[in-house]
Structure 1
Amino acid sequence: ALRKEGGGETHVEAGLRLFGRSEDEAGRLTFYRDHAAWCPYCQKLWLQIELKRIPCRIERINMRSYGAKPKSFTSKVPSGLLPVVELDGRIVTESLVIMQMLEQEFPGGDFGPYGPAMLPAPGDAEGLARANKLLKLERVLFSDWCGLVFRPSVPGAGLFGGGAMGAFEKTLSAVDEALGETAGHWFMGGDAPTIVDLQYVSHVERMNASALYWKGMQLRGAGRWKNIDKWFDAFEQLPEYRATQSDYYTTVMDIPPQYGPGFSSGGDKQERAAAVIDGANWRLPLKQSTRDAEPLTAHAEAAGEQAAREEAAWELSQNG
């Protein structure tokens, strides 16, 4: 009932978010995102809206892998690409463009009532320069990930195919170093994530699962990138993030329809990792912890097995 009225916690099926404001205010903004919560570009925008508590209506649109998109959507967005927002009747596409626009329209922190400020102040030249530098680094990380996961290994060039693994690891180390340059857990410092953090997290979440599954490489919890580990731990303290977070199995199944097939490196390490994620050895009751290759969140561990059983039973009851 709360969800239908625009209240309650962050949820994939919510169609109205009020955050204590009026439906008239929510009528200014409509957020179009994917139906299954697979899309990383939708996830970062979804997180911004939830963390800043921006009232809006939400329309869920199927991804192309589920068939043709509704004409009511493509008449507004001929490309059919997600995410999209409609603000005061104006259609805006491209996730980062949308996020910057929302920060201007719905200011937070010292500049307005909408949650934390997610960009440096216009006069903060040093902060803006750091944000831009980090956003460029994120694009390098994304490119290196694609080069590692979505291209086959070169025969005779080593287990991971030439320098793809080395390039990815080097950029991960640069990201880890950048996270260590500020106080706290976030890229820009402060007490809350910014657009920079949101730009990273949706793809790094997918890197965790895909690098392990297709290359046998453990990114999170390996002890090598400790600042990234702390950053993820900080995100998992946020109920808004946990509500958008996926599990490794779902992630590696939904990546190919969006990006194309991942290429397995082979070898014992990769095959064991893939078997764990595929559930080849799953037996009930599952024994999970925060130290696993796919770590259980501290929140889930604290909630206990009974809470997990109740959540699973509820989800199963909705399948009919």
Structure 2
Amino acid sequence: TEPTVTLYRDTAAWCPYCQKVWLVLEELRVPYMVKKVPMSCYGDKPMWFRRISPSGQIPVAEIDGRIVNESNDIIVMLLSMYQEKAPEHRELFDFDDEKAQQLLRLERQLFSAWMRWVTTPGSARQRGQFIVSLEAVERALREAAGAAEGAAPPANAPVFFLGGDNMSLVDIQFAPFLERMAASVLYYKGMQIRGGRDGGQFPWVEAWFRSMEATPSYAATRSDHFTNAHSLPPQIGGCYPDGDGPDLAPIQAEIDGSSWKLPLPAAEATSAYEPAVLGAGGVDDAAAAREAAFSLLSNHAAVVPFACRALGKKGMPPVRAEYADPNATPNENFVDYVDAALRAVAQSLLESPAAAEAGLVQGGEPAAAAEALAYLRDRVGVPRDMPHRSAQLLRAHLNHIIDALEKQA
């Protein structure tokens, strides 16, 4: 019989180890349920989960009634159970040969170099060690494609660690951490892994990212630079700039929202720092806007009081995550004003910004409503709340209504 699988993962979709298991489940098309628990950096684990996992560690999977901890153990069990049922995914099972094992060791080497550098003020030596490891990754991807030294990646062919046309388990092991590396070393160290407007120092790594983003399972689980840059420090004890590093102000300003203005550049346009949003099968901005509006409207009863936390009392005790405050108390005196402002945001997404601005109710508490919308804007998580492009659009439309409210104030 078909095994029953329940994945216990983090509520905010921040955990890279959960993402690995999530990717395998999606690639295998395994029927599964999800139950969510907070990471320790933004909330307490409920007692029912502690009975399953006394350490509180995630991910955890329940497979045919058996509790399995550790992401790699979960993945190995899933692959052993589904190897005969997924003949179209042979690449997922090719991880026992020496080449795959060598690449998995390289992934751990890169991870260690990244952790040593990003969690301290750093030194030229630590930066150099990270670059050496990343150059080895660049070389491994080029060699997997059978390309000569100095060759550019193919324009219309996929690039994966074991070659071929589909991601392998090696790609899945690399994906969560390379994604977080690209955001964190840019935001905190000023080093750009992904292309930007000027091409890039690591074209094969960029081609690999593009190949992964064209895969529906990864496109559904990937985050954005803003979410990764701010969710990582509370998980690992902090991320720190180098004392003699480059000026981070323009980088951090863009990632933190200076570009969240209407009209947004096309999804395919590459900004100076944030990678273009290509995804699987391209991007339809009208569909992405509808998805953002649907998320807002379908969760309306929860979103309005959540935004009103900006006007209420901070929670005690505080948590480590900068943008998390699960114990905060919303100010219910402003619910009607915030509700009206969020309806305008939905109208802006679905109809037009001009129509939404024209329909804003005059009077009320525009300054308070603007503060609540800004609070919400900074807490839109990718992929927890919606995909990357939908989040970009929602943040930009929130800013448009915030500007209109501030003009009234």
Same fold by TM-score greater than 0.5? yes
| CA drift at 1:281 | 5.4
- Give the TM-score normalised by the residue count of structure 2: 0.64
Q: 1:60 to 1:114 in 2, by over 3 A?
A: farther
Matching residue of 1:217: 191
Task: State the AA in 2 paired with 1:65.
Answer: C
**Secondary structure of 1:173's partner?**
helix
| CA drift at 1:193 | 1.1
Q: Is the 8 A contact 1:180 1:227 kept in 2?
A: yes
| Residue 61 (1) aligns with residue 41 (2) | no
| CA drift at 1:300 | 8.3
Q: Which has the higher helix share?
A: 2
Task: State the AA in 2 paired with 1:181.
Answer: E
Which among 113, 119, 126 is matched to residue 93 of structure 2? 119
Which among 142, 157, 175 is matched to residue 201 of structure 1? 175
Task: State the AA in 2 paired with 1:291.
Answer: T
Matching residue of 1:163: 125
Matching residue of 1:85: 61
Matching residue of 1:128: 97
Task: State the AA in 2 paired with 1:151.
Answer: T
What's the RMSD between the two structures over aligned residues? 2.1
Q: 1:235 to 1:35 in 2, by over 3 A?
A: same
| Residue 25 (1) aligns with residue 5 (2) | no
Q: Is the 8 A contact 2:213 2:280 kept in 1?
A: no
**Secondary structure of 1:58's partner?**
strand
**Secondary structure of 2:9's partner?**
strand
How many residues were matched structurally? 281
Q: Is the 8 A contact 2:184 2:229 kept in 1?
A: yes
Task: State the AA in 2 paired with 1:150.
Answer: T
Matching residue of 1:286: 264
Q: Is the 8 A contact 1:210 1:251 kept in 2?
A: yes
| CA drift at 1:302 | 4.2
Q: 1:316 to 1:113 in 2, by over 3 A?
A: same
Report 1:250-269 matches (<5 A).
250-265=227-242, 269=247
Instruction: Output the CA distance in 2 between the equivalents of 1:34 and 1:255.
Output: 14
Which among 40, 48, 73 is matched to residue 97 of structure 1? 73
Q: Is the 8 A contact 1:106 1:114 kept in 2?
A: no
Which among 138, 163, 188 is matched to residue 107 of structure 2? 138
Instruction: Output the CA distance in 2 between the equivalents of 1:79 and 1:144.
Output: 27
**Secondary structure of 1:36's partner?**
coil
Report 1:290-305 matches (<5 A).
290-292=269-271, 293-299=273-279, 302-305=282-285
Matching residue of 2:255: 277
| CA drift at 1:256 | 1.4
Q: Is the 8 A contact 1:188 1:194 kept in 2?
A: yes
- Give the TM-score normalised by the residue count of structure 1: 0.81
Question: Which ranges in structure 2 are unaligned for 5 or more consecutive residues?
Answer: 146-157, 305-409
Report 1:302-317 matches (<5 A).
302-317=282-297
Moved more, 36-45 or 217-226: 217-226
**Secondary structure of 2:7's partner?**
strand
Q: Is the 8 A contact 1:99 1:195 kept in 2?
A: no
- After superposition, give the CA deviation of every residue in 1:51-98 in whole Å (9 maximum; x if it has no partner): 110112221111112322121111111111011111122211111121
Q: Is the 8 A contact 1:216 1:271 kept in 2?
A: no
Instruction: Output the CA distance in 1 between the equivalents of 2:293 and 2:227.
Output: 19
Q: 1:290 to 1:164 in 2, by over 3 A?
A: farther
Instruction: Output the CA distance in 1 between the equivalents of 2:20 and 2:29.
Output: 14
Which among 46, 64, 67 is matched to residue 22 of structure 2? 46
**Secondary structure of 1:278's partner?**
helix
Instruction: Output the CA distance in 2 between the equivalents of 1:38 and 1:116.
Output: 27
Instruction: Output the CA distance in 1 between the equivalents of 2:190 and 2:295.
Output: 31
Q: Is the 8 A contact 2:189 2:246 kept in 1?
A: no
Instruction: Output the CA distance in 2 between the equivalents of 1:45 and 1:235.
Output: 16
Matching residue of 1:6: none
Instruction: Output the CA distance in 1 between the equivalents of 2:186 and 2:22.
Output: 26
Q: Is the 8 A contact 1:31 1:56 kept in 2?
A: yes
| CA drift at 1:308 | 3.2
Aligned-residue identity in percent: 41
| CA drift at 1:174 | 0.3
